[in-house]
């Protein structure tokens, strides 16, 4: 249902948030639980190929949850499976597993973008260009400092993404399950141990959504600046593989930068849903069930934004002559631009 998804999001990221991946994550949670509770079940029972996720969703409409039919199917094959969990335990844990897997792909794209920004910052540490405020020429700066600004935003977004807590969920129907079991479950899956269940305290989802929004913002900012600097009248950068036009084959469109901005908007819309929900008592009657598509979309489009920003920066052609020409009336005093580039690079290296 996500229109033109291959346009925005590279295949591995699309797969990481696919229904098949969600199913695999739910089964991974179920299997970990079965192991802890000593339920006897063949490994086959937990293979995603054994289930038809579309059919489970169709069936699950009657329960507002795909886990109710999944648990039924599981129990048919292995009576002790699903154990003390509630469907929210399985889905919330699965969402964290999906988030963890997708996050690593987002970070890989972000790292690629950061590396490209580093290269630009180093190469153009002293390349004079016009600084622009309110889109008016102001004072000189260097292109390296502009790239360093992008870099710092990448580094911060990465930090927030890594700092986002990804806790397991195992509270049972109303969140009163033994914390010891919850801890072993979390350990088994490599997730964090929450203080108490978070069935209706969506702090972890909101924090993750905020971090994805930060990724989108950092990448959208790159897209915006590239689009502005690539205007014909400015001409300070161009895309090596600029996109074409269906009606004007000669036109050079900064397609990757445009997609970075589009993805950033799509991240923000979905993140806003994830941050703003009200969850009733021990499980929400609507706000929770709205999270799954929004979380997948926020993750995937964040990855799409990072991939597009990376592509844009990796293939960015910089035109110092044009920069110099545009800045010719501003004098050549770039202040501490170079020292600031060095600060940004040092900050980048610190994170590693």
- Minimum CB–partner distance for residue 20 and its own copies (Å): 11
Q: Within 57-96, which residues bind its own copies (CB under 8 A)?
A: 57-58, 60-68, 70-72, 82, 84-88, 90
Longest Cα–Cα distance in the chain:
79
Return the SS3 of 142. strand
Output the smallest distance, CB 201 to its own copies, in A: 5
The burial of 200, by beta-carbon neighbours within 10 Å (0-12 exposed, 13-18 middle, 19 or more buried), is given as: middle
Taking the complex as a whole, how short is the minimal distance between the CB of residue 318 and its own copies, in angstroms?
15
Residue 231 makes contact with its own copies by CB under 8 A: yes
- Name residues contacting its own copies, limited to 148-167 (CB under 8 A): 148-149, 152-153, 156-157, 160
Kindly tell me the burial class for residue 32, based on how many C-beta atoms sit within 10 Å of its own C-beta (0-12, 13-18, 19 or more): buried
Measured distance CA(125)–CA(315) in Å, rounded: 18
Phi-psi region of 39 (alpha: psi -120 to 50; beta: other; left: phi over 0): beta
CB of 24 to its own copies, least distance (A): 13
Strands 136-142 and 316-318: unpaired
Residue 159 annotated among the catalytic residues of the structure: no
Which is the catalytic residue, given 72, 77, 159, 245? Answer: 245
If binding is defined by CB under 8 A, does position 225 make contact with its own copies?
Answer: yes
Out of 54, 79, 162, 192, which residue is the one contacting its own copies (CB under 8 A)? Answer: 54
Burial class (CB in 10 A: 0-12, 13-18, 19+), 4: exposed
Q: Does residue 122 bind its own copies (CB under 8 A)?
A: no
* Residue 283 known to be catalytic: yes
Q: Roughly what angle, to the nearest 10 degrees, separates helices 203-229 and 143-163? A: 170
Catalytic residue among 14, 125, 283, 311: 283
- Site residues (CB under 8 A) for its own copies, limited to 10-29: 14, 17-19, 22
Site size for its own copies (CB under 8 A): 155
Determine, following the binding rule CB under 8 A, whether residue 141 of this chain makes contact with its own copies: yes
Q: Which residues are catalytic?
A: 245, 283
């Amino acid at each position: 249902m996500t229109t033109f998804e291959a346009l925005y999001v590279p295949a591995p990221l699309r797969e990481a948030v696919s229904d098949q991946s969600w199913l695999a994550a739910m089964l991974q949670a179920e299997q970990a639980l079965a192991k802890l509770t000593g339920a006897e079940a063949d490994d086959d029972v937990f293979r995603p190929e054994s289930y038809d996720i579309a059919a489970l969703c169709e069936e699950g409409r009657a329960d507002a949850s795909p886990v109710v039919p999944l648990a039924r199917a599981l129990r048919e094959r292995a009576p002790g499976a699903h154990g003390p969990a509630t469907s929210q335990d399985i889905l919330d844990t699965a969402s964290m597993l999906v988030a963890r897997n997708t996050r690593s792909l987002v970070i890989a794209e972000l790292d690629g973008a950061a590396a490209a920004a580093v290269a630009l910052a180093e190469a153009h540490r002293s390349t004079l260009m016009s600084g622009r405020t309110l889109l008016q020429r102001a004072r000189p700066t260097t292109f390296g400092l502009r790239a360093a600004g992008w870099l710092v935003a990448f580094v911060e977004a990465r930090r927030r993404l890594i700092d986002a807590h990804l806790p397991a969920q195992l509270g049972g129907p109303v969140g009163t399950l033994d914390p010891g079991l919850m801890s072993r479950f979390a350990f088994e899956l490599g997730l964090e141990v929450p203080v108490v269940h978070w069935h209706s305290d969506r702090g972890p989802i909101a924090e993750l959504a905020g971090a994805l929004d930060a990724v989108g913002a950092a990448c959208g900012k790159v897209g915006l600046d590239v689009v502005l600097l690539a205007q014909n009248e400015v001409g300070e950068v161009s895309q090596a593989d600029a996109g074409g036009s269906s009606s004007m084959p000669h036109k050079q469109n900064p397609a990757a930068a445009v997609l970075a901005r589009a993805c950033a908007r799509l991240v923000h819309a979905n993140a806003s849903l994830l941050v703003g929900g009200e969850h009733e008592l021990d499980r929400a009657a609507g706000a929770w069930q709205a999270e799954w598509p929004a979380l997948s979309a926020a993750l995937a489009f964040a990855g799409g934004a990072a991939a597009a920003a990376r592509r844009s920066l990796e293939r960015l052609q910089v035109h110092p002559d044009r920069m110099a020409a545009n800045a010719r009336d501003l004098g050549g005093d770039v202040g501490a631009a170079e020292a600031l580039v060095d600060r940004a690079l040092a900050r980048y290296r610190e994170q590693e």
